[in-house]
Amino acid sequence: MNPELLRRYLGYYQDLGFRHLYRRNQNRGAGALARGGPPGPPQPDFLPVPPAAGSPELLATIREDIGDCRRCRLHEGRAKIVFGSGNQQARLVFVGEGPGADEDEQGLPFVGRAGQLLTQMIEGTARKEGIPIQRKDVYICNVVKCRPPGNRTPLPDEMEICGQFLVRQLLAIRPKAICLLGATAVKALLLDRKEGVTKLRGNWYRWRDIPVMVTYHPSYLLRPYNQSAKREAWEDLKKVLHYVYD
């Protein structure tokens, strides 16, 4: 491989969050890029080919690369991979944690109770604020694409392995803003933030050069004692929608 191409490949893998590349099998394409190095996190069985310079990747290519994924233990209990849904050129992307039972069954993100609340929040706020958008106009996805057993929080290695696909989705869509729903999404994208969602919510941060708003996860808002959090989440959403669509 020529040095320029090698630089492009390595830059791309760095973008996806890989910190160590080690040679598992000399004859395995890009996986054979680097020799040795300290033991890093588990790596996928292949490394994706970077998109041509200056042209964003298609979501369909990313979904194809995921394939019938068995890169981590979450595949064992899943019915369907939940890749994401909505407008592929959305100006706003919502990132949740991982599929629940309804999402696992349907293969679509946020279609259960939390999803219905998210839809109401998006469409209700947009209507009240005079912003002509519906759920189908935004893009919605999760940090992990397979349902964790018993809806537990995804483990660090699961987030690491699946996180590369989230990064690729965001780089492919290049939205005007990203809205992170809850602590797992914050952990995945705002790596240097140690504060909890209660502290972070309502404020703007950056992922790469894209503005990021943090708010509560809709499942948290469904709990009956969280009425004030609900009001706050509506305020957060208002801020995001005006920023993106005004």
Residues that bind ligand URA (CB under 6 A): 96-100, 103, 109-110, 112, 114-115, 142, 219
- Cβ nearer to ligand URA, comparing 110 with 216: 110
Q: How far is the CB of 109 from ligand URA (least distance, A)?
A: 4
- Cβ nearer to ligand URA, comparing 9 with 110: 110
In which order are the strands placed within the sheet that holds 85-86? 85-86, 139-142, 92-96, 177-181, 210-215, 204-207
Q: How far is the CB of 97 from ligand URA (least distance, A)?
A: 3
C-beta nearest to ligand URA: residue? 96
Phi, psi dihedrals of residue 97, rounded to the nearest 5°: -95, -65
Measured between alpha carbons, how far is residue 29 from residues 34, 93, 114, 121, 164 in Å?
Answer: 11, 33, 42, 46, 18
Q: How far is the CB of 14 from ligand URA (least distance, A)?
A: 27
- Cβ nearer to ligand URA, comparing 31 with 109: 109
208: which residues sit within 8 A by CB, 6+ positions away? Answer: 171
Q: How far is the CB of 82 from ligand URA (least distance, A)?
A: 6
- Cβ nearer to ligand URA, comparing 142 with 215: 142
Phi, psi dihedrals of residue 205, rounded to the nearest 5°: -130, -170
Is 20 strand, coil or helix? coil
